[in-house]
Amino acid sequence: MVVQGHRTMSEELKSCPFCGEAKRLFIGQPWEGGNYRVSCQVCWCAAGGHPTQAEAITAWNTRAGEKA
Ligand SMILES: [Zn+2]
C-alpha cells in the first residue's frame, strides 16, 4: 500500500507508544534528502530522523518498547 510516496509498513512497526495506534503509521522523508522518520497519523508523534528506513523503524520500535 502506497500513500503519496509514504510506504506504510505497519506490519513492521510496533503500535504508537503514545496513542496505541497500530495501523496509521507511516515512514518517509520529511523533506527531500532528509532523514527518514516514522510518524503516527493519529497523534503526530514521530521518531527520527535516520539515514535509512531500517534505522528509523528500529528507532520507532525501540521507543515503542519503552513504555514508562
Ligand atoms: Zn500516536
Going from the Cα of 31 to the center of ligand 1, the distance in angstroms, rounded, reads 21
pTM: 0.69
Q: Is the peptide bond before 49 cis (omega within 30 degrees of 0)?
A: yes
In this predicted structure, the answer to whether residue 49 has a pLDDT above a threshold of 50 is yes
CA distance 53 to 31: 14
* Residue tagged 496505541 (cell numbers): 20
Going from the Cα of 48 to the center of ligand 1, the distance in angstroms, rounded, reads 14
Taking the C-alpha atoms of 13, 27, 58 and 24 in order, what is their torsion angle to the nearest 10 degrees?
-20
Q: What are phi and psi of 58, to 5 degrees?
A: -60, -40
- Per-residue pLDDT tens for 4-36? 455 554 447 899 989 999 999 988 876 777 899
Going from the Cα of 15 to the center of ligand 1, the distance in angstroms, rounded, reads 8
